[in-house]
Amino acid sequence: MVWDWNGTLFDDVACSVEVANQLLGEFGLRRFVGLDQYRATFRFPIVDYYADLGFDTGPDGNFVAAAHRYLELYRAAAPRCGLHAGATDALASLHAAGLRQVVISAAEHSHLAAQVGPFGLDRWLDGFHGIDDIYAASKEDLARGWLAAEGVRAERVVFVGDSEHDFEVADAVGARCVLFSGGHHARPHLQSLGAPVVDDLTQVAELVTGGVLSS
């Protein structure tokens, strides 16, 4: 099992909207009017999402400054966030069923470590892996590297995430995918991708241990 972190296990969507609106206000750009608009706009790579919001992503633009400011604001706000309901139950059930579990995230690794650490998830997780910069371009290379290093066959892996990017990564490496509707992308969009969509993380364990995703 390969879990996404932000928006999947970690319930930071409301926080992300709040921080994004503060950032947009500071840069004189139009704010989100609510969660639905945010979910309809958010996408990977993050540089394209910022361009959609009105930031200048050219060589002399304000994207880099905005990305650093967002991270500053987000790091201050994120400690108020917790895990999604059902997250620990799902992790515990899958662990009890004998499945290995890791987190692979598009978050920068040291920031990921700071978020994951306080929740004591190492009793169920075999590790967590983030990228080496703050720009969240893609985690495909990270996923491929982990599969190769561990000698894991992709068709034996299920990716769980809350965004189209999670689906894209799973599809690119040849793994299966389950998408969670409580994160950064809305359910109708997730459903359009063709992977199973769950509204409760405990349903992930039910799908896997019940053989629905068996190859």
For residue 214, tell me if it sits in a domain.
no
The pLDDT value recorded for residue 106 is: 85
Domain end, chosen from 49, 80, 111, is at 80
- 2-3 sheet: strands from edge to edge: 127-131, 102-108, 2-3, 158-161, 176-180, 197-198
The residue with tokens 């499945």 is: 99
Q: Which pair of structure tokens corresponds to residue 73? A: 């604001």
Note whether 86 and 62 are same-domain residues. no
For residue 215, tell me if it sits in a domain.
no
Which are the contacts of 185, defined by CB distance < 8 A and separation ≥ 6?
A: 39, 42, 162, 163, 164, 179
177 forms beta bridges with: 159
Note whether 111 and 64 are same-domain residues. no
Q: Record the pTM.
A: 0.93
Give residue-wise pLDDT tens across range 116-147: 999 999 999 999 999 875 554 568 888 999 99
Domain end, chosen from 36, 65, 80, is at 80
Give residue-wise pLDDT tens across range 84-107: 999 999 999 999 999 999 999 988
Give the H or E element holding residue 160: strand 158-161
Q: How far apart are CA 64 and CA 106, in angstroms?
A: 17
The pLDDT value recorded for residue 147 is: 93
Q: What are phi and psi of 104, to 5 degrees?
A: -125, 120
83 forms beta bridges with: 10
Q: How far apart are CA 123 and CA 71, in angstroms?
A: 28
Note whether 147 and 183 are same-domain residues. yes
